[in-house]
Amino acid sequence: MAFDESGKIWFNGKIVDWKDANLHVLSHVVHYGSSVFEGIRCYSTKNGPAIFRLREHVQRLINSGKIYRMDIPYSVEEICQAIIDTIKINDLKQCYIRPVAFRGYGELGVYPLNCPVETVIAVWPWGKYLGEEAIEKGVDVGVSSWRRMAPDTMPNMAKAGSNYMNSQLAKMESITNGYDEGIMLDYHGMVSEGSGENIFVVLDGVIYTPPISSSLLSGLTRDSVITLAGDMDLEVRQEQIPREMLYISDEVFLTGTAAEVTPVRSVDKILVGEGFRGKITKDIQEAFFEVVNGTNEDKYNWLTFID
Ligand code: PPE
């Protein structure tokens, strides 16, 4: 994906040209990975562009900062407004939104608290995360030899840039081995999540997803899917999932802001069900896209219209 460099970026409260949104090479984040970020989507609806679960994403950004003693110097309201302003100034109908806060330029050394906290919001169009065909046909995944971080190593509930070094290992390994995505196990060997998605399994009509305690990011798409499945009278259990349950399940799908709801057609080259998108996955996808595209009633107030 190449960026359109004519866009504008929100940088510490000011709108700057795309090419001027730079930082010093001795910024703390470059050396020690000290950043927290979000991924949010804005969808084109009949009532104009609408941001999906904006407030909850921004709250998670603030929380990620809190875990790392990083005080982001803006309120939830201010960041929400800055995101809306950034979309408007870039005149985008639909886009991916990437707010990031990081420790900037001041001094080096592991101790971060003497470096300024900088905040940036960038927006750009981002199509289907795992390929155009993935939403219908599904993806092939492999269980990674890299585990998700043990609970007393790196906090998985923080969406921190440094967590994505672990994700990168899993992603590179999976692509090298011919898969589309890697699924990581947690410290206890139970299923955790993908390099950039949460995971769901359907077995005998019941939906399972690993609990927060399985070292995962508490995804907002995950939360939305649990809510939508409840509306459809489908049972969802947040339970530890052993690896082999992926092999014998009827359906598997991944969720995330970028990945949306993406079916999995094989795990470790073992076909999931018949090897194509299952009925429950399709029903959940439809319910999800109806909400985000504004074609169904927004009964949980998940959409923030920007006009
Ligand atoms: N787990 C991980 C590790 C993860 O990165 C994401 C989102 C999720 C779960 C799902 O969270 P949510 O978006 O709230 O449903 N990954 C973001 C970054 C992807 C990237 O490649 O960058 C995203 O989907 O925006």
The domain that holds 239 is classified in CATH as 3.20.10.10
Judge whether residue 1 has pLDDT over 90.
Answer: no
**Is 87 in the same domain as 161?**
no
With respect to residue 22, please indicate whether it lies within any of the assigned structural domains: yes
- Whether ligand 1 lies within 6 angstroms of the CB of 292 is answered as no
Q: For the chain, what is the domain count? A: 2
Judge whether residue 127 has pLDDT over 90.
Answer: no
Which atom of ligand 1 is closest in space to residue 222's alpha carbon? 15
Catalytic-residue membership of 159: yes
Using CA positions, which residue lies closest to atom 12 of ligand 1?
A: 219
- Whether ligand 1 lies within 6 angstroms of the CB of 118 is answered as no
**Is 56 in the same domain as 192?**
no
| Token pair in block for residue 49 | 């562009």
pLDDT of residue 31: 98
Distance from the alpha carbon of residue 107 to the mean position of ligand 1, in angstroms: 31
Mean pLDDT over 29-35 rounds to 98
- Whether ligand 1 lies within 6 angstroms of the CB of 254 is answered as no
Domain that holds residue 195: 134-292
Maximum separation of any 2 CA atoms in the chain, in Å: 56
**Is 280 in the same domain as 152?**
yes
**Is 145 in the same domain as 288?**
yes
Pocket residue to mutate for ligand 1, from 141, 197, 227, most atoms within 8 A of Cβ: 197
Q: From 68, 102, 124, give the residue that closes a domain.
A: 124
Q: Pairing between strand 139-143 and 303-305?
A: unpaired
**Is 138 in the same domain as 278?**
yes
| Token pair in block for residue 170 | 């899993």
Looking up tokens 């990011």 gives 217
**Is 100 in the same domain as 182?**
no
- Model confidence at 129, pLDDT cuts 50, 70, 90, reads confident
Beta bridge partners of 118: 102
Pocket residue to mutate for ligand 1, from 159, 167, 186, 216, most atoms within 8 A of Cβ: 159
Q: From 124, 150, 171, give the residue that closes a domain.
A: 124
pLDDT of residue 130: 86
Q: From 124, 147, 176, give the residue that closes a domain.
A: 124
- Whether ligand 1 lies within 6 angstroms of the CB of 83 is answered as no
| Distance from C-alpha of 55 to C-alpha of 123, rounded to nearest angstrom | 17
**Is 138 in the same domain as 103?**
no
With respect to residue 159, please indicate whether it lies within any of the assigned structural domains: yes
Segment 163-218, tens digit of pLDDT: 999 999 999 999 999 999 999 999 999 999 999 999 999 999 999 999 999 999 99
Marked catalytic residue, from 8, 19, 128, 159: 159
With respect to residue 3, please indicate whether it lies within any of the assigned structural domains: no
First to last CA, the chain: 28
With respect to residue 307, please indicate whether it lies within any of the assigned structural domains: no
CATH of the domain at 94: 3.30.470.10
Judge whether residue 271 has pLDDT over 80.
Answer: yes
Mean confidence (pLDDT) of the chain: 97
The pTM for the full model equals 0.97
Segment 102-114, tens digit of pLDDT: 999 999 999 999 9
Segment 212-221, tens digit of pLDDT: 999 999 999 9
pLDDT of residue 131: 84
pLDDT of residue 238: 98
**Is 115 in the same domain as 159?**
no
With respect to residue 218, please indicate whether it lies within any of the assigned structural domains: yes
- Whether ligand 1 lies within 6 angstroms of the CB of 130 is answered as no
